[in-house]
Structure 1
Amino acid sequence: MAQHPSWWQTNVIYQIYPRSFQDENGDGIGDLPGILSRLDYLRWLGIDAIWLSPIYPSPMADFGYDISDYTNTHPLFGTLADMDKLIEEAHKRDLKLILDYVPNHTSDEHPWFQQSRASRSNPRRSWYLWSDSAPDGGPPNNWAGFFGGSAWQWDTKTEQYYLHMFDAKQPDLNWRNPEVRSAMYDVLRFWLDRGIDGFRVDALWMLLKDEQLRDNPARTVWGPCDLLNKLQEGQYTEDQPGIHAIVREIRSVLDKYKERVFIGEVYLPVHRLVAYYGEMLDGAHLPLNCQFATNRVWEAQAIKQIIEEYEAALPAQAWPNWVLGNHDMPRIASRVGREQARIAQMLLLTLRGTPTCYYGDELGMEDVDIPPSLRHDPQAKYDPDNTRDRERTPMQWTKGPNAGFSIPGSHLWLPIAPDYQTANVESQSQDPHSILMLTRALLTLRRSSSSLTLGSYRTLAQENINCLAYLREHEHQRYLITLNFTDTGQTVHMPLEESGSILLSTQMDRVGNCNLSAFNLRAHEGCLIELS
């Protein structure tokens, strides 16, 4: 650890899905002024940095991930002046602001693509990936789109196919073209000059595709990082040779500015994920580690294995990070239950490295069953049961109309969860035992503790396979964290000679001295213990 760590090493990142955080103008869709109005809540909670999902002009085929202008804001969210105001006010509160950057594809309504498809001889033709049909007249190869169907779309005017690894309205850029790279780096500079503190780079591991357009093999083994594409291995569409040179180029743009962070979305097995730090740590500062979000087994030994394999795979001096959930994954409370969601919060906020929280998880928000007529996610066009709308519903602020997300009577873009009258900020902030107050207490302890922000990590050997115990240590401060992953009480026998004092229980009802030689955990309980 460097003597003076960067802010992104000690901060806690909070992802906001702008459509669903706070609606200020009453149109039923969240906006930038709404986010501005809630900055004080984030400071009260203990958050340090905000990651905004896309706020750019977009036809909204994929709700902002299909961008038609990289250097402006969508009128639904507000104006560029609103964005500047948000940056200014966030910085006044010592909050960092991180922007989603979507370099793999644009909207088909972006001027670049409109020019590219105008004719085969257009100067921007090679800005996207075009190909003749196969001998049988069909797509050039078997590549499948992540939302379903072929990844190729026929263009009648120019009689070629263009590649879209997501929706047909999201054509892939050609990152082998230096003009594309130059233009996309100018986008970074535009926002960096406005004061943005860094970027979460969408689909970073997919920017290059095989130049020979070889067929992907069918998927035979379904690993925890393969959630995006169930049909085939991404052998020729993901993590291609040459990608790390581009990652270094992106990093070099950010390094021209002081203290900016480069966060990369990378869904790959851990040994390939960590390569995105770069051989000289000149790649992404934080290649997103989403193993908790994609893991299907929520048991102590499975979690222990994930942590230890990741820690062992990290390059020397690389900084770890952890993610419980995001806008593409079912919410943690829906995956593991609300009782275990408390365990998950203690785990996330006490492990070594930078945690990323998803809005509403501090309330134990769960996925909402969205009727087919109200679904928007383009994934649902191909697989009606596979909609990400469930985890993108409006933030629950109060027990009043529309959960305080929007004014009474407004028509919300997605429905509010049926339990909003109890699972909301207003109610839980008045309940000292709520998951919201647990999260706030964990964030308070984390900020004040060098062990939790900078300390080492070590799994503690103990025989109870239903529990996880680990130490966080820095200088003379030592913390023990014990987590019970079951719905029955457990006793953990720990080989420690020190005495311990409980600082925080996930049930928010006990503190004080404890017996570490035979420590009793109640069902679904985790404890943070100071050693002396």
Structure 2
Amino acid sequence: MNKTWWKEAVIYQIYPRSFMDSNGDGIGDIKGITSRLDYLKYLGVDVLWLSPIYQSPNDDNGYDISDYQAIMDEFGTMEDFDEMLLEAHKRGLRVVMDLVVNHTSDEHKWFMESRKSKDNEYRDYYIWREGKDAQTPPNNWGSCFSGSAWQYDEQTAMYYLHLFSKKQPDLNWDNETVRKEVFDMMTWWCDKGIDGFRMDVISMISKTKEIPDGPVTEFYGDYSPYCIHGPNVHRYLKEMNEKVLSKYDIMTVGETPGVTTEEAKKYAGEDSNELNMVFQFEHVDNHGKYGKWDDKKWQLTKLKNIFTRWQTELYGQAWNSLFWDNHDQPRAVSRFGDDRPEFREVSAKMLATCLHMMQGSPYIYQGEELGMTNYPFQKPEEFRDIESVNAYQEWCLSGEVSHEEFWPCIIARSRDNARTPVQWDASDQAGFTTGTPWIAVNPNYTEINAKAETADPNSVFHYYKKLIALRKENPIMVYGKYEPLMEDSEELFVYTRTLDDQKLLTVCNFTDQEIAFTIPEEFVGKSCLIANMENDYGKKEITLRPYEAFVLI
């Protein structure tokens, strides 16, 4: 197995709009990030992944880009970015940019030209099709953000494809000029000194030429058989690697909806010449009767089965990305742990133990290291996220389901849970801004905040700090082979890691109950590497308290 810096790194995701506001306009910005670099260095992370900071009309909070080589006005200037990059590098922190090239904004100059006429030189930069008429799209595909995936454009009386918002038209990657434009832009950023790319929905850049109706799910047809892992996706990524990525010592991670372990080996195999690693979403895709909108908890055996499959089937062949949450997912402690006051801290530490002891590069989403929780939404008007707003309209305002039935599901899964401002201290607006924040601060900021936790050696923050430090000292945490134990247990997540003659045992109680546990004979009397509670781990028979976690080595 090849050893590389990015395999050994811990990555911290910053959602800039909600991280830190430096000028009092209620919106996080680049100078705000710069002002908190010492905090991130103290935590111990190695890489900062920034969600998009490019020029954007903000229909989808920056994932609709109108200029890839300019900074969004609300976030600052390119000079601010250059300063932030310089200051990060001074502290030994690498910076990874979000690359959003499945689609652009409809306000990008390419699309504004493309829609002018059928013979415009930019027309083929996007995917245009004839419909039967202005009310009947080319097929039944539905968008990720509700409604049809096709938008009728009166100027040329044709439809363009948008797998997300209608303000996010999909690029036509079969056009060689489009690929060259993208590769030139990536090269420009690499030459500026960035340290890599996180690639948004990169598994969706290649579509089939044919566009038949998809199998109907909920309201519309499913586009995925024709748009995910499309016919040329690997050819285009190999071309990207050859022309850009291979020329720099950078980290690349692809967001790959619908990926399997076999497909992941193509994207991120040790010798695939595409990407370093991918994000898979099986462990966060426990859909229910309203699709992704569901408030049920994972069955632990199913969750373990997913992690185990990825750990074992990628071992020695491709690299894992490890995460519990991100800007598109609800808060980890509310979803996988227990955010009740008596269990929040201990379950947050348990989740961190479980994830960071697996093989792969761990990702920490801003505020996760504090044990930040979901927001207590009271009404639909509080949502800012286009996906949540559209879903409520589609399910409830259409009369499909009652508010009372749907509300627990949408507040459990809304992306806005992750987008409330980082809770820096107990002052007004959690120290995030001196103005009115663009989205409400979670009212529990007086109890949960960075100032209090950095001062408390027993806090969630310091537990994460210790896990990160241990990873740097123990190669077994990075490169050790994973093996599951007690696979049928619905209470305990137990596994070992082995590297050469060294072996460690990780035990995590995922319940609010006491559980009797017998330590395997080979680990009796071994040292405790880390634990979220005090216990006599030298004994063979112990009782695990709610959400207790420990590691023996």
Q: TM-score scaled by structure 1?
A: 0.92
User: 2:256 corresponds to which letter in structure 1?
Assistant: V
SS of 2:119 mapped into structure 1: coil
Which amino acid counterpart does residue 450 of structure 1 have in structure 2? P
**2:428 alignment partner AA:** P
2:538 is matched with which residue: 509, 514, 527? 514
- Are the structure 2 counterparts of residues 506 and 513 from structure 1 closer, same or farther at C-alpha, using a change threshold of 3 Å? closer
Residue aligning to 1:423? 448
Report the alpha carbon displacement of residue 525 of structure 1 after superposing the two structures with TM: 0.4
Deviation at 1:140, TM superposition (A): 0.6
Which residue of 225, 228, 232 corresponds with 1:235? Answer: 225
How far apart are the structure 2 equivalents of 1:391 and 1:115? Answer: 36
- Shift, 1:212, TM fit: 1.4
CA distance in 2, matches of 1:60, 1:378: 10
**Pairing partner for 1:405 from 432, 449, 457:** 432
Q: In structure 2, how many angstroms separate the alpha carbons of the residues matched to 1:488 and 1:88?
A: 49
> 1:155 and 2:153 equivalent?
yes
Structure 2: segments with no counterpart, 5+ residues: 287-295, 393-406
Tell me the residue number matched to 2:359. 352
Q: Deviations over 1:442-465 (max 9, x none)?
A: 112122211112222222358855
Q: Spell out, residue by residue over 1:316-351, the C-alpha distance to the aligned partner (whole angstroms, 9 max, x if none).
A: 432222111111111112213234332211111111
Q: Deviations over 1:33-82 (max 9, x none)?
A: 11011111111111111100000000111110010000111111111111
- The residue that corresponds to 1:525 in the other structure is 548
**In 2, distance between residues paired with 1:247 and 1:492?**
47
Residue aligning to 2:400: none
Further displaced range: 132-141 or 330-339: 132-141
Normalized per residue, the structure richer in helix is 2
| From 361, 368, 390, the counterpart of 1:361 | 368
- Paired positions, count: 515
Paired amino acid for 1:8: W
Residue equivalent to 1:223: none
Residue among 46, 49, 65 paired with 1:48: 46
What's the Cα RMSD here?
Answer: 2.2
Aligned residue type for 1:21: F
User: Tell me, what secondary structure is at the counterpart of 1:403?
Assistant: helix
Find the partner of 1:195 among 193, 214, 231: 193
Q: Deviations over 1:337-384 (max 9, x none)?
A: 234332211111111111111111111111214443343222234212
Residues 218 and 233, structure 1, Cα contact 8 Å, conserved in 2: no
User: Quick one: structure 1 residues 513 and 364, their matched pair in 2 at CA, closer, same or farther if it must change by over 3 Å?
Assistant: closer
Q: Do the aligned partners of residues 269 and 113 (structure 1) sit closer, same or farther apart at CA in structure 2, a change above 3 Å counting?
A: closer
Q: 479, 493, 500: which is aligned to 2:504?
A: 479
Structure 1 stretch 494-503 or stretch 412-421: which is displaced more?
A: 494-503
Distance between the aligned counterparts of 2:500 and 2:233, measured in 1? 39
After TM superposition, list the pairs within 5 Å mapping 1:110-121 onto structure 2. Answer: 110-121=108-119
Cα distance in 2 for residues equivalent to 1:321 and 1:137: 42
Candidates 260, 271, 292, aligned match of 2:283: 292
**Alignment pair present for 1:314 and 2:308:** no
Specify the code of the residue in structure 2 equivalent to 1:285.
N
CA–CA separation in structure 1 for the residues paired with 2:490 and 2:420 = 36
How far apart are the structure 2 equivalents of 1:38 and 1:135? 53
Distance 1:230 1:492, change over 3 A: farther
Residue 422 of structure 2: aligned partner: 395
1:503 is aligned to 2:503: no
| 2:496 counterpart SS class | strand
TM-score (norm 2): 0.88
How far apart, in 2, do the equivalents of 1:101 and 1:155 lie?
A: 27
5+ residue gaps, structure 1: 221-228
Q: Secondary structure at the match of 1:27?
A: coil
How far apart are 1:208 and its partner, in Å?
1.6
Aligned to 1:90: 88
Q: Assess, with a 3 A threshold, how the Cα gap between structure 1 residues 231 and 363 changes in structure 2: closer, same or farther.
A: farther
1:285-323 CA distance string (max 9 Å, x none):
111133333346545422331122113332743222211
Q: 1:111 to 1:462 in 2, by over 3 A?
A: closer
Select between 51-60 and 437-446 the one with higher mean Cα deviation.
437-446
> C-alpha separation between the residues in 1 aligned to 2:490 and 2:130?
56
Tell me the equivalent position of 2:334.
334
Q: Is the 8 A contact 1:208 1:238 kept in 2?
A: yes
CA change 1:136–1:49 in 2 (3 A) is closer
- Paired with 2:70 and 2:158, the residues of 1 have a C-alpha distance of 31
Counterpart AA for 1:264: G
- Match in the other structure for 1:491: 516
Corresponding position: 1:377 with 2:385: yes
Letter in 1 for 2:260: V
Query: Is the CA contact (8 Å cut-off) linking 2:140 and 2:214 kept in structure 1?
Result: yes
| Structure 2 CA distance for aligned equivalents of residues 281 and 519 of structure 1 | 46
Superimposed CA distance per residue, residues 216-244 of structure 1 (whole angstroms, 9 cap, x where no aligned partner) = 11249xxxxxxxx9863611122211211
Residues 132 and 298 of structure 1, relative CA distance in 2, 3 Å threshold: closer
SS across alignment from 2:74 = coil
Which region of structure 1 is more displaced relative to structure 2, 432-441 or 200-209?
432-441
Residues 385-439 of structure 1, C-alpha deviation per residue, up to 9 Å, x if partnerless? 65422220100000111111112xx111011001000110111222333222221
Provide the C-alpha distance between the structure 2 equivalents of 1:59 and 1:417, rounded to a whole number of angstroms: 26
Q: Distance in 2 between matches of 1:67 and 1:464?
A: 46
The code of the aligned residue for 1:242 comes to: N
Cα deviation, residue 278, structure 1:
5.0
Shift of 1:251: 2.2
1:141 corresponds to 2:139: yes
Secondary structure of the residue aligned to 2:171 is coil
Do residues 17 (structure 1) and 15 (structure 2) align?
A: yes
Of stretches 426-435 and 133-142 in structure 1, the one that deviates more from structure 2 is: 133-142
Per the alignment, residue 323 of structure 2 pairs with: 323
